[in-house]
Structure formats: structure tokens, C-alpha cells
Chain A
Amino acid sequence: MQNLNTKLDLKPKNLSAGKSFDSKQNVLPAEKKLDSRPKVLPIKKIVKETENIWTFVFDYSEFNHLGERSKPGQFVMLWIPGVDEKPFSIAYDDGREFWLTIAKVGHATEQLFKLKAGDLVGVRGPFGTWYEFESGEHLALLAGGYGAAPMYNVARAALEVGCTVEFIVGARSKNLLLYEGRVKELAKKYNGRKGGTRGGAVGGGRGGVGGGLGGGAIFYHAATDDGSAGYKGYNTEVLAKILNGKLGGGVVGGAGGKIDRVFACGPEIMMKKAAEMAVKKRKKCQVSLERYMKCGFGVCGQCCMDDSGICVCKNGPVYDGAAALKLREFGRYHRDGVGRRVVR
């Protein structure tokens, strides 16, 4: 398997999990990772996506001791000094800046939202596994709610190696569709380039995927519960149509043609459905697991999932979809801060 954009160092190793939850490929060399003290740096900029969802921007030049650019799907532990430290997916990372898109949902994030540019926070990581793909592939990215941000990171990285991306995002209503503007900017930048697919929102026909000819392309598909934008219904329904190659019924555009991989990030029920669909269609699939975390690096055992005991922070969060379906607790329950089972 060869993903050869060396600029990005996105060489996929054997796909994470699935075969063995102890796959060594996701354990980075010990020497590099041994210092897990937080790196304290200022917030560079805050972009308010909505009133309760903000993007915190950080500058890599403050971050020189890590020297390791994250890969799409990874997370960091963010320390809000004097308050708490929580895991957050990386929404964007170009080696110069990285972003965390965060929703204000509890005590820790409430305090975070009182901070401003210039205030100091701590970052540990990047931790965890990442989405793996090859250059020129046709990817279906399924994003639910907050999952749009890390999926944007995947899309951006995939486009750089000539992939064609169906960006399928779902939300309750139009105003909760995150990152729409940024995805459309990617479309402007990439679609219709020489060698790429016949671009634009109405999309090419079958077999129109650029695939390795130098271009990538991205197609934005929105799904809202209330129909205020895009398709009225669930984003999984849109995914189904795209996988079947049967557009219409409110689903338009896209590159057409065979999907190579399905990536999902969002509510677990959504990811479970996506994985089931992918398995049925024999498509490679990766999902992003999420569990209550404490240490973030595979020691405390707080985020381990039944029945295989994998740590979400070390063997995930990005995990093979078929393997996730075999985890007894996937889509069924999770655990609270003292390890008790909580049924969804």
C-alpha cells in the first residue's frame, strides 16, 4: 500500500485495529513520546463558529518540543489551567497551525470559553490513531454534528494527495452545519483542476473520479433533520444513496463512481450504521471512537472498551469499522468517570 505524498508523511501503515488490537504500528517509538508533560502555549486566535462552538487556533512555532505534526483523526489533551484537562479532536493541522473546534457543554469548556487570545493553555499529544487512505482514492466522509471538524481535517489531507471526497454532514438544522464555508472553499480550490473530475456541485458522471491524475475534488452533501438545508433526513441515508450509486431523492452531485472507503465521525449510533453499511458493501471503513478518558496514553484503563479491552486513546480513537461492530459496547453503552456502565 503506497500513499506517497511524502510532504505530508501520511504513509499508511497496516490499517489500525481489526486484525489485532495490539498492532504495534500505532505505538510510536518510545524515545519520541516519553515526555508527556503539557506544552503550555497561548491561544493564537478564537473563531466563533456558533455561540456555543468555538475554534481555538494554536501556532506550531510555540510547540517546538513535540516536533510531530498530527495526522487526521488524532486528538490532544487540552489543559485549562486550574480547571481540568480534556481530550479534543484536531480539526486542522498544516504543520504551521492547528485548530481545536470545541463545544461548550460542561464545566471545563465553560471555563475555556472565558479565555481569550493570548491566554495560556496546555496541550499534550497528539495521541491516538488516524484515518488511513491512499492517494487518489474516492472517500465518503460521514460527519455528524461536531464530527464535521475532524472530518474536515481528513478531507483537507486527502485532497492534498489527489483523493476525491464526498463530504456528507448531518445536523439537526441548517445553523448547526459546521464548517460548511471551509468545505466549500476546498471545493473552489480543488474542483475542476486539470486532471481532476468534472467539478462543481452538480458533479461528474460515473467513472469520473480523477484518481491519481493530479486532481482531487470534494463534494459537499448536507442533511438536516428539519430539511432547512440539503437533504431532509439523516446523513446515513445520503451515504446509502452514494454507496449504491443511486443519487436523486434530494441527493445530488458527488463524483459518482465506486467509493473506496467510508470514514465516519459523530454520534455512535450514526457510526454504527455507517460501519454496517460499509461492511455490507465490502468497503473499508474507519470510525472514531469516543469514551471517557483520563490519561490519554493507554495507562489508566478508563477508556477501555468491552469485550476486547482496547484503549480508545491508544488503539483508537480511529478504529476499523468492522472491528468496532464486534465490540460488545459499541453503540450500546459507555462508562462513567468511576467505571460504571451507562446505557445509551
Chain B
Amino acid sequence: MVKTKVKFCGVEFKNPTVLASGVLGVTAASLRRVVENGAGGVTTKSIWLNPHEGHRNPTMFGTEHYFMNAVGLPDGGIEKAKEVFAEYDALEKAAGGSGSRAAGSRGRVAPLIASIVSGKAYEFAKIATEAAKLRPDIIEINISCPNVEDEFGTPFACSATSAAAVVKAVKDALKDEKFKIPVIVKLSPNVPSIASIASACAEAGVDGFCAINTVGPGMAIDLKLKRPILTNRVGGVSGPAIKPVAVKCVNDIYRITRLPVIGTGGVMTGEDAIEMMMAGATLVGVGTMVYYRGVEGFGLIVDEMKEWCEKNGVKDLNEIVGCVK
């Protein structure tokens, strides 16, 4: 029996697969369904302080090799998020839920990560404070979504000083919380040196990382209309094509900071997840996979990871984290 339990910033996950932010994360019922299909943990869709409209359709499409989106981070604000958290816990309780309890946290069987977003650096502290009241197992700061660039300029994640400033603001805002919630930051690959961004965030006190957000942004043109397909004209690229970029970024971040990473980007199969862990990821973020394999894919990935381990003499998934030479 391969051991799949991992601990991330003190939070225990029954297996390393985590639903990435932006996929099936609008409602508690949807998040629970992902858990029931085998995910170790789940991340909410990014939460704004106040309700925020997204972009008009078309906002998403996929091809065999890549996926693109410019959804625009629609969200019902912190008030709606309160409902999501309450319902998630109620549904988890109703489901019985046996298994290990995460140490020092709410004790959820499947940890719930709150992704938070804001257009202004100073507002991050406010949204973080509000989000902390929801008692998430982890707070993930989304400073890397490319789909709000036109409104706010370059994402914070593209500047080491901006990224570090946001991390510091959030850590400061939460420092008096008696309930310690780990804070991770989701980084963008669209930078000359992700290692320097990560390094600055580490110095600012971040507890870990999620990497990567989408690549690009990219553009796709419809030939007949001579028009971009996405209403936002550009959109983040995800899916199979970006896995090499993600693996490299995860490895860079891991080598320079040695902090825990949720390795995300192009993971479709168990072997992809193993590869991500070898690069330095403790957890593996999975999102666009749902387009290719359905929500059932979470369980399939975990099975495939176990199968790989059995075939290769690995008894515990923790053995392979960062083992790449």
C-alpha cells in the first residue's frame, strides 16, 4: 500500500491532488463533488472583497494541446464566500468523513483553500482579514491572474517588489490571528525570473507557493470573423502544452526557497503529478485536467500515482518531493 498522505504547511492532505482555483470552485456543492471524486483538497474560485463581474462570453475553449480562458474572475464577494465555507463544512459533516484530521486547523478531511484576489495592493490586507474569518485551511493570494491586466495594469506577480509588498501586507494583517493560517502566493510564469519573485516573497514571510498560474496571455483568432475568439481578446493558456513551463518554474522556486509548493500546470495524469513532485512540489494543483478527463480524473490520477509508485518501488509519495537531480 503506497502512502499518499502529505503535509503542507502543517495541513494534512490524504493525497497530494488539489483542485486548482478557477475550476468547479464557485459553490460548496461543486467543491464537495470534486472531493468525492478523489481530490485531496480544493481551492475556491478567487474571492473578491465585493462582488465582481467577469467578462462576457466566449470566455473559455480547449483544443487537443491547450486550453485558454479569460473568464475575468467573477465572484460574489466575501458575503457569498461566507456561505460557501459554511455549506462546505455542513456537507462534509453530512458525508460522515472519516480519516485523519488536519493538525491545528479546522479539522477538515479535505482541506479548503481560500484564493483571494484584489485589484489594489492595500486592499489585499482587508480581503485577507475577511477571508481568515472564514477559517480556510490555507490562504492563497492570487496576484498572477492575467485576465484583469487591462483594468489594473501588469499583475503584481510580475514585479518582485509588488509581490513582496502584497505578501507582507497580508502577513501583517494576519499576524494577530490566534488561529494561524498558512499564507501562500500564486505566481505567474510570465516573468524573466520566477526565482527572484519567489525569493522576494519568501523574504516577505510567505509560507509557501502555488505555481504556476496561466501562461501568456495568449490570443486565438477566428479566421472567418477575423476576430479573437475570447471576448477579452487575450486569455491565459493552460492545459497539456504548459506542463514543461510549470515543471521548470516549480523547480526554480523549490531550489531557491525550499518552501512547500503546490505544483500546478498541465497535470493530466498520475505520471504528470509524479513529475511535478519530483520537481519540488509537495502538492499538485489540477484544474484544466477536468476538461480532458472529467471530474472523475482526480481519482484516476491518484490511482495512476499509486500504480507508478508500486511499479517503481516508491512506498511513500513524500520520498519523491524535490528528488530531481
What is the interface of chain A, defined by CB distance below 8 A to chain B? 21-22, 24, 27, 30-31, 34-38, 40, 77, 79, 81-86, 120, 122, 124, 294-295, 297-302, 304-311, 314, 335-341
Chain B residues with CB below 8 A from A308, complex form: 29, 33
The chain B residue sitting closest to A304, CB to CB, is: B30
A77 touches B295 (CB 8 A): no
Stretch at the interface among B56-64, B204-212, B277-285, B305-313: B56-64
Q: How far is the CB of B239 from chain A (nearest CB, A)?
A: 10
Q: Does B225 contact A (CB under 8 A)?
A: yes
Show 20 residue pairs from A and B whose CB-CB distance is below 8 angstroms, ordered by the A residue.
Answer: A22-B294, A22-B295, A37-B63, A38-B58, A85-B56, A124-B58, A294-B71, A297-B62, A298-B290, A299-B24, A300-B26, A301-B24, A302-B74, A305-B29, A306-B27, A306-B87, A310-B33, A311-B24, A314-B294, A341-B83
Chain B residues with CB below 8 A from A302, complex form: 26, 74
Bound-complex Cα distance A298 to B288 (A): 10
The chain B residue sitting closest to A294, CB to CB, is: B59
A38 touches B53 (CB 8 A): no
B292 touches A34 (CB 8 A): yes
Q: Does B80 contact A (CB under 8 A)?
A: yes
Q: How far is the CB of A80 from chain B (nearest CB, A)?
A: 9
Mark B208-226 against chain A: 1 for CB-CB distance below 8 A, else 0.
0000000000001010110
Chain B residues with CB below 8 A from A22, complex form: 37, 294-296
| Chain A binding surface SS class | loop
Q: How far is the CB of B290 from chain A (nearest CB, A)?
A: 5
User: Which of the residues A30, A120, A299 comes within 8 Å of B60, measured between beta carbons?
Assistant: A299
B229 touches A309 (CB 8 A): no
B27 touches A339 (CB 8 A): yes
Bound-complex Cα distance A97 to B45 (A): 39
> Chain B CB within 10 Å — which of A298, A338, A340 has the most?
A338
A338 touches B292 (CB 8 A): no
Q: How far is the CB of B14 from chain A (nearest CB, A)?
A: 19
Bound-complex Cα distance A55 to B62 (A): 29
Chain A residues with CB below 8 A from B77, complex form: 338
> Chain B CB within 10 Å — which of A27, A40, A307 has the most?
A307
Q: How far is the CB of B185 from chain A (nearest CB, A)?
A: 23
A298 touches B295 (CB 8 A): yes
Bound-complex Cα distance A308 to B29 (A): 6
Instruction: Tell me whether A299 and B296 are in contact in the complex, defined as CB-CB below 8 angstroms, given that A34-B62, A38-B229 are known contacts.
Output: no
7 tightest CB-CB pairs across the interface, nearest first? A309-B33, A85-B57, A309-B29, A304-B30, A301-B24, A340-B76, A40-B224
Chain A residues with CB below 8 A from B291, complex form: 297-299
Q: How far is the CB of A335 from chain B (nearest CB, A)?
A: 7
A38 touches B61 (CB 8 A): yes
Chain A residues with CB below 8 A from B31, complex form: 309
Bound-complex Cα distance A59 to B155 (A): 44
Instruction: Tell me whether A337 and B58 are in contact in the complex, defined as CB-CB below 8 angstroms, given that A37-B63, A299-B23 are known contacts.
Output: no
Instruction: Tell me whether A301 and B62 are in contact in the complex, defined as CB-CB below 8 angstroms, given that A294-B71, A339-B80 are known contacts.
Output: no
User: Which of the residues B25, B61, B75, B225 comes within 8 Å of A81, measured between beta carbons?
Assistant: B225
> Chain B CB within 10 Å — which of A24, A37, A310 has the most?
A37
B288 touches A299 (CB 8 A): yes
Instruction: Tell me whether A300 and B23 are in contact in the complex, defined as CB-CB below 8 angstroms, given that A339-B80, A340-B80 are known contacts.
Output: yes
The chain A residue sitting closest to B294, CB to CB, is: A27
The chain A residue sitting closest to B75, CB to CB, is: A338
Chain A residues with CB below 8 A from B57, complex form: 77, 79, 84-86, 294
